[in-house]
Structures are given as structure tokens and as C-alpha cells.
């Protein structure tokens, strides 16, 4: 990436254009200022303040307990660290399902109270009307199909979706419905690679895959998974690019050893 490209703020138009040019879109999650700062400096295209926050940062066992106030708090911190990447706020469970009015109010909070440029919400035809109203109100929407973690109780666990002709046909229909409703992009989570490839060919908006194969227009991972700081479980689709938990434990142990033995602080750390 050239220095010139690095300076340009990524927008929905940039994301759409990348699909047209066949350039892969890179996306990761972030929940705090220092992580967002470092990832943005590395040149990522999109930063999602995912409701995965609940599991990888707040220690809940699912994403369901996450509140709008928690999402706003963390999205503000992420936005303070970002210059170039597009920042997307994830709508938490029950922030858009109750009524169109509540959904618009909550989506609007991301744009009014933080510097996020768009929101993401889970679901297909059932969120089409909400997607249409948000888009019409000037709130860009990223869709999310396949394994949608907010429906985990309905799915009965973290399982691959879209297997079999009927299930695949439904996801393809949902993707068309979301595109028609105005979504600027769609996350495809845990669906077979050939289904994700077909949806990617059929849509003019970009698809972002997570456990959906290499044919999507872009890829997203939960940062804490790929950096190895979340150890409770690691889905098969995650590639660990680092194992920072090992380094953290070693650093903390060395610090404790040095404090206990009087090596730290040294002369250079002492006034
Ligand atoms: O909450 C999240 O981090 C997400 C991504 C996994 C797409 O929805």
C-alpha cells in the first residue's frame, strides 16, 4: 500500500470500489484505543467494534449480555485511535429487534456519540425493513449472515450454517434481500466455501468472510483470536498469527522475579 493510499479515510464507497477492482478487503475487530491505534497504523481497511467484546474482553460466556452503553463506550475508545480505517459499531442483542424506532435510535447513537461510520446487524429478511430505514436515514449498514452468534440459543451451538440445498438457498435469498434493502456489505460467518463464493459472485456489494473460505471479497477475524490473547476456545477457522498470551505470562513472571530479587528497578529507572 502506498503512503498516499494510507492517508485516505476508508469509506463505504472505498469498500465498494475495492470489490470492483478485485482488491481484497482486510477487517479485524478492536475494542480499545491502543489496539485500534496499532492496527490502524498497520493499514487495516475496516475495524469492527464487534459485540464479541462481550466474550473476548468482558468475560461473558456469549455476546448476548452486551449493552448499547458498553458498545458506545468501547467504540468511542477505538475511534480515538483510528485515522484511516473505517470503524463499524456492532448492534448488540435486543438493540434492533424490538422495534424499528428503537433500532434507528440505537444505530443513530453510534454515529452521533462516536465517530463510527456504519453499523453492523445480524440477520436476513427479518432485518430488511430496519436496514432499509437505517440506510434511508443516512446510517450505512453492514449485514451479517450464516452463523449469527446472537441466535446461538436458536442454533443450539456454534455450528456451520447453509449446509444442504434448502439452507443454502435461504442464505442466498437473504443476501439478495439485504443488498436490495441497502446494505453496503455483508459478513458471511461459518458457511461452506462454495456457498460463500456463489454469494460473492451474485452480489455487487462486498462479502467479508469469517470461516467462509477464500473467495469472499474480504476477510475478518476477531483480533484476540488471531493474536492469541483469548484462550477459552479457538474456532477451527482462526489462524493464530501470534501467541501473545505466552509472551504476556513470560513478561509478567520476569517482572515478578526481578521485583522479588531486587533487580528491578535498576539505576537507570531510579531518580
Ligand atoms: O462481533 C464480532 O466480532 C463479529 C465478527 C466476528 C464478524 O461479529
Question: Over 63-91, what HEC string results?
Answer: CCCCCHHHHHHHHHHHHHHCCCCEEEEEC
Q: Which atom number of ligand 1 is nearest to the Cα of residue 51? A: 1
pLDDT in tens, 130-154: 999 999 999 999 999 999 999 988 8
For ligand 1, is residue 148 a contact (CB within 6 Å)? no
At residue 173, the pLDDT reads: 98
For ligand 1, is residue 45 a contact (CB within 6 Å)? no
For ligand 1, is residue 188 a contact (CB within 6 Å)? no
Report the separation in Å between the CA atom of 1 and the middle of ligand 1, taken as the mean of its atom positions. 25
Report the separation in Å between the CA atom of 252 and the middle of ligand 1, taken as the mean of its atom positions. 30
For ligand 1, is residue 220 a contact (CB within 6 Å)? yes
For ligand 1, is residue 187 a contact (CB within 6 Å)? yes
At residue 151, the pLDDT reads: 93
Closest CA to 111 of 81, 83, 143, 135: 135
Catalytic residues: 189
**What residue ranges do the domains of the chain occupy?**
3-240, 243-271
Report the separation in Å between the CA atom of 259 and the middle of ligand 1, taken as the mean of its atom positions. 40
Residue 262 confidence (pLDDT) above 80: yes
Residue 1 confidence (pLDDT) above 80: no
For ligand 1, is residue 87 a contact (CB within 6 Å)? no
At residue 8, the pLDDT reads: 86
Whose alpha carbon is nearest atom 3 of ligand 1?
A: 50
Residue 5 confidence (pLDDT) above 60: no
pLDDT in tens, 161-207: 999 999 999 999 999 999 999 999 999 999 999 999 999 999 999 99
Percentage of the chain surpassing pLDDT 90? Answer: 93
Q: pTM above the 0.85 mark?
A: yes
Whose alpha carbon is nearest atom 1 of ligand 1?
A: 50
Whose alpha carbon is nearest atom 2 of ligand 1?
A: 50
Whose alpha carbon is nearest atom 8 of ligand 1?
A: 50
At residue 6, the pLDDT reads: 53
90-104, 105-119, 155-169, 182-196: range with lowest mean pLDDT: 155-169
Mean pLDDT of the chain: 96
Report the separation in Å between the CA atom of 255 and the middle of ligand 1, taken as the mean of its atom positions. 34
Report the separation in Å between the CA atom of 98 and the middle of ligand 1, taken as the mean of its atom positions. 21
Write a three-state SS string for the chain: CCHHHHHCCCCHHHHHHHHHHCCCEEEEECCCHHHHHHHHHCCCCEEEECCCHHHHCCCCCCCCCCCHHHHHHHHHHHHHHCCCCEEEEECCCCCCCCCHHHHHHHHHHHHHHCCCCEEECCECHHHHHHHHHHHHCCCCEEEEEECCHHHHHHHCCCCCCCCCHHHHHHHHHHHHHHHHHCCCEEEEECCCHHHHHHHHHHCCCCEEEECCCCCCCEEEECHHHHCCCCCCCCCCCCCCCCCHHHHHHHHHHHHHHHHHHCCCCCHHHCC
Residue 4 confidence (pLDDT) above 60: no
**CATH architecture for segment(s) 3-240:** Alpha-Beta Barrel (3.20)
Amino acid at each position: 500500500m502506498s503512503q498516499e493510499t494510507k492517508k485516505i479515510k476508508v469509506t463505504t464507497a472505498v469498500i465498494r470500489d475495492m470489490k470492483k477492482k478485485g482488491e481484497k478487503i482486510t477487517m479485524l475487530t478492536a475494542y480499545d484505543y491502543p489496539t485500534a491505534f496499532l492496527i490502524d497504523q498497520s493499514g487495516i481497511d475496516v475495524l469492527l467494534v464487534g459485540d464479541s467484546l462481550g466474550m473476548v474482553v468482558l468475560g461473558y460466556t456469549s455476546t448476548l449480555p452486551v449493552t448499547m452503553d458498553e458498545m458506545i463506550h468501547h467504540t468511542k475508545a477505538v475511534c480515538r485511535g483510528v485515522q484511516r480505517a473505517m470503524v463499524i459499531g456492532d448492534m448488540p442483542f435486543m438493540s434492533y429487534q424490538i422495534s424499528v424506532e428503537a433500532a434507528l435510535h440505537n444505530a443513530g447513537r453510534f454515529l452521533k456519540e462516536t465517530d463510527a461510520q456504519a453499523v453492523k446487524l445480524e440477520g436476513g429478511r427479518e432485518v430488511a425493513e430496519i436496514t432499509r430505514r437505517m440506510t434511508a436515514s443516512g446510517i450505512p449498514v453492514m449485514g451479517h449472515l450464516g452463523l449469527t452468534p446472537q441466535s446461538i440459543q436458536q442454533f443450539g451451538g456454534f455450528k456451520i450454517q447453509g449446509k444442504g440445498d434448502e439452507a443454502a438457498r435461504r442464505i442466498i435469498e437473504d443476501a439478495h434481500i439485504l443488498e436490495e434493502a441497502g446494505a453496503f456489505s455483508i459478513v458471511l460467518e461459518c458457511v461452506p466455501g462454495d456457498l460463500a463464493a456463489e454469494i460473492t459472485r451474485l452480489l455487487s456489494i462486498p462479502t467479508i468472510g469469517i470461516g467462509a473460505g477464500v473467495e469472499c471479497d474480504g476477510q475478518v477475524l476477531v483480533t484476540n483470536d488471531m493474536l492469541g490473547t483469548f484462550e477459552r476456545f479457538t474456532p477451527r477457522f482462526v489462524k493464530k498469527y501470534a501467541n501473545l498470551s505466552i509472551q504476556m505470562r513470560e513478561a509478567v513472571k520476569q517482572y515478578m522475579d526481578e521485583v522479588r530479587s531486587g533487580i528491578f528497578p535498576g539505576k537507570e529507572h531510579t531518580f
